[in-house]
Amino acid sequence: METLELQDTYQQDSQQLRSPCATTGGAWLNELRGRALQRFAELGIPTVKQEAWRFTNLRALSREPHRLADTGNLEIDPAILDRWAVDEANNHRIVLVDGRFRQDLSNLDGLPDTVRFTHLAAEWARDPKFVESHLGRYAPFDGDALTALNTAFLQDGVVIRIGRDLRLTEPLHILYLSSGQQAKRVSHPRTLIVAESFSESVVVETYLAAGEAAYWTNAVTELVVEPGARVTHYLAEFENEHAHHIHTLAAVLDRDSYLESQNILMGAALARNNVRVAMNGAGAEAHINGLFLGHGNQHLDNDIVVDHRQPHCSSHQNFRGILDDKSHGVFGGRIVVREDAQKTDSSQSNRNLLLSDDARVDTKPQLEIYADDVKCAHGATTGQLAEDALFYLESRGVEPRDARDILVYAFAHEIIEQMKLLPLRKQLEAVLLDRFSKIRQLGE
């Protein structure tokens, strides 16, 4: 009965959505949404009985439906956004509040002509063919209920197109802000990034909230990296600690392309970060790194799948978790090497630090290798702070509490130092600082 009510609500809400392309045709989009809704109805919210969700329980989402968050033109204090700025000088940012584009908070000017950095409805009006040829092509929803639901609610979102050969060093910043004014509300952010051949770009997605209510963010980002292009993508999840946050990055890498995916999970009551990388062209290279920092009762889950479909590709995953109090971390990393993907060079590492007896981590590496000439290394460790390192610091005069903080910082640092975007690193260090007080004195 509950399931019925859930489906009915989503069906109703989805059908009432206005289409971003209502004025210019776009039957394909309505058709896509319809199919996605149908698929969601068949799949339902995932349960712990499914292997991929064994450690992450979404019962709060399946228990009752979440209505679409819609707070109209809620007044937002820009300071909330400025705090997370990643490039104060240029500040190319697009802001969506509860999934709706906000011109008044965004800054889309000052970019080269060969960059599109806009919201979905605007891009649809300008270049419907472009949107149609990419949107929905990289994030399949047949086996993924939540991507199906996101697609069923496709309404607005962000479109980024980096023109051929363009080297854009200034980061493009997407801020998805949840109003957080009402509980049981959901938004379905959708981002499409097309990096054309030999372009270079940096894109940051920041998720945050203005209020303290228990909302749900169900985001999907599609990313295609065309031949020879290079993309650095950051996910900075700073949701409020009552929220559910689901994010799926579906990336397709073409020949000789390069992706660096940096993932930070810090907020939310429950966060699930799906990274799906398809190595679709020979010679592609992917680095997928993450830091998840849990305290209180937080549940932070990273689920990574790298699919090697072509030869001579390399992929490297490096995730670190730091879990305090009663928090629960999950790392699932799957590497698939198909028959044709000879000379694959792949590695995966997950190291976790438990700071309390009640904290917990589940880590499960999975290798599926169908080619015979490949290199696949993986390793996972979970431990507590090294007693001898603590004593070493204390024997030099450092107080026990500070010694602990220093070691935690050191553990996180290996991931943080790979993030080349300094303002983001500073934000991260500020959060660490907030939780582990001693770090301030370490300096660079």
Q: Does 430 bind other proteins (CB under 8 A)?
A: no
Distance CA 237, CA 245 (A): 8
Phi, psi of 124 (to 5 degrees): -60, -45
Q: Does 438 bind other proteins (CB under 8 A)?
A: yes
Q: Does 395 bind other proteins (CB under 8 A)?
A: yes
Q: Does 392 bind other proteins (CB under 8 A)?
A: yes
Q: SS3 for 130?
A: helix
Are the C-beta atoms of residues 274 and 247 closer than 8 Å to each other?
A: yes
Are the C-beta atoms of residues 173 and 87 closer than 8 Å to each other?
A: yes
Q: Does 410 bind other proteins (CB under 8 A)?
A: yes
The one among 183, 386, 422, 430 contacting other proteins by CB under 8 A: 386
The one among 164, 399, 426, 430 contacting other proteins by CB under 8 A: 399
Q: Which of 275, 266, 260 is nearest to 243 (CA)?
A: 266
Q: Which of 292, 180, 294, 150 is nearest to 242 (CA)?
A: 180
Q: Which of 188, 16, 38, 18 is nearest to 98 (CA)?
A: 188
Q: Does 428 bind other proteins (CB under 8 A)?
A: no
Q: Does 377 bind other proteins (CB under 8 A)?
A: no
Q: Does 437 bind other proteins (CB under 8 A)?
A: no
Q: SS3 for 3?
A: helix
Residue span binding other proteins (CB under 8 A) among the ranges 124-132, 146-154, 161-169, 398-406: 398-406
- In sequence order, what are the residues at sequence separation of 6 or more whose Cβ sits closer than 8 angstroms to the Cβ of residue 15? none
The one among 203, 411, 424, 428 contacting other proteins by CB under 8 A: 411
In sign, the C-alpha dihedral spanning 85, 86, 91, 97 is negative
Smallest separation (angstroms) from other proteins to the CB of 291: 13
The shares of helix, strand and coil residues in the chain, as percent rounded to the nearest 5, are 25, 35, 35
For residue 85, give both structure tokens.
Answer: 């700025």
Identity of the residue, 358 or 414, whose beta carbon is nearer to other proteins in the bound complex:
414
Q: Does 49 bind other proteins (CB under 8 A)?
A: no
Smallest separation (angstroms) from other proteins to the CB of 436: 13
DSSP one-letter code for 104: G
For residue 102, give both structure tokens.
Answer: 């906000």
Residue span binding other proteins (CB under 8 A) among the ranges 187-195, 257-265, 342-350, 396-404: 396-404
The one among 18, 49, 59, 396 contacting other proteins by CB under 8 A: 396
The one among 70, 345, 394, 429 contacting other proteins by CB under 8 A: 394
For residue 13, give both structure tokens.
Answer: 């809400």
- In sequence order, what are the residues at sequence separation of 6 or more whose Cβ sits closer than 8 angstroms to the Cβ of residue 327? 294, 295, 296, 297, 298, 299, 300, 359, 360
Q: Does 72 bind other proteins (CB under 8 A)?
A: no
Pairing of strands 190-195, 285-294: unpaired
Identity of the residue, 76 or 393, whose beta carbon is nearer to other proteins in the bound complex:
393
The one among 53, 215, 409, 436 contacting other proteins by CB under 8 A: 409
Identity of the residue, 389 or 422, whose beta carbon is nearer to other proteins in the bound complex:
389
Q: Does 441 bind other proteins (CB under 8 A)?
A: yes
Smallest separation (angstroms) from other proteins to the CB of 375: 24
Residues at the contact surface with other proteins, assessed by CB under 8 A = 386, 388-389, 391-400, 402-403, 406-407, 409-414, 438, 441-443
